[in-house]
Amino acid sequence: MGLKDALNALFGRTTLPRADLDSLFAVSTAAVTMQTSLGLKPSGRAGICFKPIESSRHDAAVSEIEDLLGFASAETGSEYRIETDEYGFIWVVLEDPDFDDLITGVHLVAQTLIEHAFGTYLLCAVYRFENSKPVYWIYSFKAGRYYPFVPEGQMKRDNGYEFRLRSLLERELPLEKDVEKWYPLWGLPL
Amino acid sequence: MARWHHDRGLQWRMGVTLILLMFVYLVFITVLAYIGVETLFLLAIVAVMLFFQYYFSDRMVLWSMGARVVTEEEEPRLYQVITRLCAVAGMTRPRIAIVNTTVPNAFATGRNPRNAVVAVTTGLVNRLEPEELEAVIAHELSHVKNRDVMVITLASFLSTAAFFIFRNWFFFGASPRSDRNSYLWWILPLVALAVWITSYLLIQALSRYREFSADRGSAVITGHPSHLASALMKISGQMERLPTEDLRKVEGMNAFFIIPAVSGSTIFHLFATHPPVEQRIAALEQIEREMGG
């Protein structure tokens, strides 16, 4: 706990960490490794999850995202939809067979939200991979790190496979080291 | 950081309260030293007391409230809600406990974020809409993030000492150190009482300010001050209509925390202590206006 954190605690200031996009693109090379080593293919689907907030500027940001995605999809042929999940979070779900275009799309949405000063409300980006079952890589915007999530039926996850993914990608993907922070996201809309 | 995330006025008031508290304590220590009390011995006793309180308060509070820590499998929805809020706030996820009572309430305990537990009552879960429940949990997370247990424990350190002297004065009174100061010896309980009362009031003010801070924290984390406002309205309305049996149960819970050191530091009720709900709702509405601007 640094001095700034200590002062924030002393004065009861709740601060939110900023979104960190630096390592977002790292999943691109990791995708190649996963395909060659495990036969895991990108499903062509990704989602960005953020928390809607009570502000008219927020609605403006969302409609700008829609405009931008409209332009982008006209160019790259990617598709998108916007959903609100059962916890009230907004998901922008992107679909594009080209994995790099998909990452660019995710970056675009995140960047737009940050430009409108809603970067602190970005939760995560999720990339779906699959062979026999879905495998997700979750990018936490707050930590700027990835972690795997392999759901297995209702409220269960395949920890063995997740650890395997970790050891495979330790070198090329900035991973969340604290396993306790590998928080699951059940009922993903992608 | 958005401008509405902070309230400078509130932080000033908190700062002034802390300075006043330090001043009272400084005077107290000076008087103790002048009279010739074994100050170190006394402070050591209080330090040990507070150490135990600091380390075991979480378990004690959970036990006394009948709260049961639940696993993610048992309460998947609650854990999903808290997980997402923690991801937004960039903090470690505390555990969740459930208190089986119809009284709608929530509290946070634990000396640091890693040991924290956020407890909600079944009455709260049943009565609130999901977004209101989320706002209440965010309020408790703010308490955890702001380390309110630690802040209040430290703030009440000498207050506890003063109370201790006042209560055990006869024990101290039996052994005055020197004849020179023997008449001062009789002033000791009065000084201790005065210090205890003033510091008690200051700590009460401090914990009210920290309630306001946690309300703002909830607004910052959820982005919806109105959700907490409607939760507070609902809870306060429900509170009045509850059968007396449950109210007595609530009273019983509060009675557990009689001495100030315990009442302030170990537990942060959503509702049971000051400030009045109307003021908190007004503050939340103000935040909502700031957000629009």
**pLDDT-derived band at B1, boundaries 50, 70, 90:** low
What is the residue extent of each domain of chain A? Answer: 32-174
pLDDT at residue B194 greater than cutoff 80: yes
Tell me the three-class secondary structure of B192-253, residue by residue: HHHHHHHHHHHHHHHHHHHHHHHHHHHHHHHCCHHHHHHHHHHHHHHHHHCCHHHHHHHHHH
pLDDT cut 70: percent of chain B above it: 81
A contact test, residue of B10, B11, B16, B80 with most A CBs within 10 A: B80
Q: Which residues of chain B have a CB within 8 Å of the CB of A17?
A: 89-90
pLDDT, averaged across chain B: 80
- Quick one: closest CA in B to A154, which residue? B73
Using CA atoms, how far apart are residues B100 and B149, in angstroms rounded to an integer?
24
Using CA atoms, how far apart are residues B217 and A12, in angstroms rounded to an integer?
8
Q: Which SS3 state, helix, strand or coil, does residue B267 take?
A: coil
pLDDT at residue B243 greater than cutoff 50: no
Q: How many CB atoms lie within 10 A of CB B269?
A: 18
In-domain check, residue B249: no
Amino acid identity of B93?
Answer: R
Using CA atoms, how far apart are residues B24 and B191, in angstroms rounded to an integer?
11
Q: Give the β-pairing of A79-84 and A41-50.
A: unpaired
Using CA atoms, how far apart are residues B82 and B97, in angstroms rounded to an integer?
12
Which tokens is A27 given?
Answer: 């999943």
Contact indicator for B129, B91 with CB cutoff of 8 Å: no
Q: Residue B182 has what pLDDT?
A: 65
Which tokens is A122 given?
Answer: 């970005």
Q: Residue B267 has what pLDDT?
A: 47
Residue range(s) defining the domain that contains residue B195: 8-171+181-239+264-292
Q: Which residues of chain A have a CB within 8 Å of the CB of B145?
A: 9, 14
Q: Which residues of chain B have a CB within 8 Å of the CB of A90?
A: none
Q: Residue B220 has what pLDDT?
A: 93
Amino acid identity of B289?
Answer: R
**pLDDT-derived band at B266, boundaries 50, 70, 90:** very low
In-domain check, residue B77: yes
Amino acid identity of B105?
Answer: N
Of B93, B146, B222, the CB nearest to A183: B93
Q: Which residues of chain A have a CB within 8 Å of the CB of B80?
A: 87, 185-186
Tokens 């002034």 sit on residue: B16
pLDDT at residue B80 greater than cutoff 60: yes
Please tell me which residue, A27 or A187, carries the higher pLDDT value: A27
Using alpha carbons, list the distances in angstroms from residue B13 to A95, B18, B214, B220: 52, 9, 15, 20
Q: Give the minimum alpha-carbon distance from A141 to chain B in angstroms, rounded to a whole number.
A: 9
Q: In this complex, is the C-beta atom of B268 within 8 Å of any C-beta atom belonging to chain A?
A: no
Of A117, A143, A183, the CB nearest to B2: A117
**pLDDT-derived band at B173, boundaries 50, 70, 90:** low
Using CA atoms, how far apart are residues B50 and B46, in angstroms rounded to an integer?
6
A89-148, pLDDT tens digit by residue?
899 999 999 999 999 989 988 988 888 878 888 999 999 999 888 999 999 998 899 999
pLDDT at residue B262 greater than cutoff 90: no
Using CA atoms, how far apart are residues B132 and A169, in angstroms rounded to an integer?
40
Contact indicator for B173, B58 with CB cutoff of 8 Å: no
Q: How many CB atoms lie within 10 A of CB B33?
A: 10
Which tokens is B15 given?
Answer: 């700062």
A150-184, pLDDT tens digit by residue?
998 777 889 899 999 999 999 889 999 988 888 88
**pLDDT-derived band at B198, boundaries 50, 70, 90:** very high
Of A15, A54, A86, the CB nearest to B1: A15
Q: In this complex, is the C-beta atom of B1 within 8 Å of any C-beta atom belonging to chain A?
A: yes
Task: Tell me whether residues B14 and A12 touch, CB distance under 8 A.
Answer: yes
B207-216, pLDDT tens digit by residue?
889 999 999 9
Dmax over CA atoms of chain A, in Å, equals 52
Backbone angles phi, psi at B95, to 5 degrees: -80, 165
B contact test, residue of A14, A122, A149 with most B CBs within 10 A: A14
Q: Chain A neighbours among B 224-243 (CB < 8 Å)?
A: 224-226
In-domain check, residue B2: no
The residues near A71 (Cβ < 8 Å, ≥ 6 apart) are none
Of A9, A51, A121, the CB nearest to B147: A9
- CATH homologous superfamily of domain A32-174? EIF_2_alpha (3.30.70.1130)
Task: Tell me whether residues A87 and B134 touch, CB distance under 8 A.
Answer: yes
pLDDT cut 90: percent of chain B above it: 35
Q: Give the minimum alpha-carbon distance from B246 to chain A in angstroms, rounded to a whole number.
A: 31
Closest CA to A120 of B146, B90, B228: B90
pLDDT at residue B252 greater than cutoff 60: no
Tokens 């996850």 sit on residue: A157
Contact indicator for A47, A78 with CB cutoff of 8 Å: no
From its phi and psi, is residue A147 left (phi > 0), alpha (psi between -120 and 50) or beta? beta
Tokens 């629009």 sit on residue: B292
Angle, vertex CA A142, rays to CA A177 and CA B72, nearest 5:
65
Q: Give the minimum alpha-carbon distance from A21 to chain B in angstroms, rounded to a whole number.
A: 15
- Quick one: closest CA in A to B10, which residue? A11
Q: In this complex, is the C-beta atom of B59 within 8 Å of any C-beta atom belonging to chain A?
A: no
Contact indicator for B73, A155 with CB cutoff of 8 Å: yes
Ranges A27-36, B21-30, B158-167, B222-231: which has the least confidence: B158-167
Q: Which SS3 state, helix, strand or coil, does residue A153 take?
A: coil
pTM for the whole structure: 0.81
**pLDDT-derived band at A3, boundaries 50, 70, 90:** confident
B17-75, pLDDT tens digit by residue?
999 999 999 998 888 888 776 777 777 877 887 788 778 877 888 888 889 999 988 99
Structural domain total, chain B? 1
Q: Residue B260 has what pLDDT?
A: 28
Please tell me which residue, A59 or B254, carries the higher pLDDT value: A59
Active site residue ranges of B: 140
Task: Tell me whether residues B213 and A9 touch, CB distance under 8 A.
Answer: no
Using CA atoms, how far apart are residues B137 and B107, in angstroms rounded to an integer?
9
Using alpha carbons, list the distances in angstroms from residue B127 to A11, B120, B124, B131, B262: 32, 12, 5, 12, 29
**pLDDT-derived band at B162, boundaries 50, 70, 90:** confident
In-domain check, residue B257: no
Using CA atoms, how far apart are residues A170 and A34, in angstroms rounded to an integer?
12
Measured CB to CB, residues of chain A less than 8 Å from chain B are 8-17, 51-56, 58, 86-89, 117, 120-121, 123-124, 140, 142-143, 155, 180-181, 183-186
In-domain check, residue B117: yes
Where is B270: in which H helix or E strand? none
Q: Residue A1 has what pLDDT?
A: 63
Q: In this complex, is the C-beta atom of B132 within 8 Å of any C-beta atom belonging to chain A?
A: no
Region B198-211 average pLDDT: 89
Q: Give the β-pairing of B95-99 and B117-121.
A: parallel
Q: Give the minimum alpha-carbon distance from A7 to chain B in angstroms, rounded to a whole number.
A: 9
A29-60, pLDDT tens digit by residue?
999 999 999 999 999 999 999 988 887 777 88
